Amino acid sequence: MLAISLLTISCGKKENIDTESAAEGQARELSAAPEGTAVGQDSTGVEGTSSDANPAGPTASFSTKGIIGAYLKLQDALARDDAKGAAGAGKMLVNELTKIDAKTVEDKKRTDYLDIAADAKEHAEHISHNASDIAHQREHMALLSKDMSDLVTAFGSENKLYQAHCPMYNEGKGAIWLSAGKDIRNPYYGEEMLTCGSIKKEF
């Protein structure tokens, strides 16, 4: 029941592919729980087949949209020097990453995805736990942005994205970030040097 209502709710939204896949993932998890508890009931068989019937392979429904959406919110918050907002967006990103069922990623690229996702999640967690330390959030942002760049390179993005580069960050080692537009809004320095950096790449 819960699973069905979840599905219908998400279908009602205008976001299509990725929300559906996420809901499917949740639905599977939700249906798995009562399955375990309702031992001996007829429903177990039905539930089993329904989750088996979920196509575990071809291109089905994996999308980077949710991840990128949360990341861009984070990028925006850091550019506004908003550590609390960044922490919130970091939490969102953790949720998006948790929601994705790696089975929906095509076989060949799954290891890559899991590698990127595990690292990204760790950075997002740190960002979400450091609402009072924006400098630390930015350190993780630099590493996270690398992950995001690799993610988009491997799996694409539904919306146009740009890769910007800030040459100053980290004592001149530089750092990249992804942005939805061509305008430079530097997440590493915020107000201090908002327009420092340049677009290096288009996805």
Partner 1 sequence: MGWRPGKVVTGMLVVFALMQFYQPKQGAGEPEAQPHSIDAVFKVPGQVAGILERSCYNCHSNTTDYPWYSYVQPLGWWLEGHISEGKEELNFSTFATYSKRRQASKLESVAGQVKKGSMPPESYALVHKEARLTKEEVQALTQWVQSLQDSLSVE
Question: Residue 27 or residue 134: which is nearer to partner 1 going by CB?
Answer: 134
Which distant-in-sequence residues (6+ apart) come within 8 Å of 119 by Cβ?
143, 147
List b or e across 142-177, with b for residues whose CB sees 16 or more CB atoms inside 10 angstroms. bebbbbbbbbbeebebeeebbbbbbeebeeeeebbb
Stretch 155-194 residues interacting with partner 1 (CB under 8 A): 170
Residues constituting the chain: 203
Which distant-in-sequence residues (6+ apart) come within 8 Å of 42 by Cβ?
none
Question: Residue 15 or residue 112: which is nearer to partner 1 going by CB?
Answer: 112
Question: Residue 29 or residue 115: which is nearer to partner 1 going by CB?
Answer: 115
| Phi and psi, residue 43, nearest 5° | -60, -25
Task: Identify the residue among 29, 106, 107, 115 touching partner 1 (CB under 8 A).
Answer: 115
Using the rule CB under 8 A, give the single segment among 15-23, 36-44, 93-101, 115-123 that binds partner 1: 115-123
Binding status of residue 154 toward partner 1 by CB under 8 A: no
Binding status of residue 121 toward partner 1 by CB under 8 A: no
Binding status of residue 116 toward partner 1 by CB under 8 A: yes
- What CA–CA distance (Å, rounded) separates 1 from 12? 17
Question: Residue 5 or residue 170: which is nearer to partner 1 going by CB?
Answer: 170
Beta-bridge partner residues of 166: 175
Task: Identify the residue among 20, 81, 82, 119 touching partner 1 (CB under 8 A).
Answer: 119
User: For residues 186 and 196, is the Cβ–Cβ distance under 8 A?
Assistant: yes
Binding status of residue 139 toward partner 1 by CB under 8 A: yes
Binding status of residue 122 toward partner 1 by CB under 8 A: yes
Least spacing, CB of residue 175 vs partner 1, in Å: 10
Which distant-in-sequence residues (6+ apart) come within 8 Å of 37 by Cβ?
none
Site residues (CB under 8 A) for partner 1?
115-116, 118-119, 122-123, 135-136, 139-140, 142-143, 146-147, 170
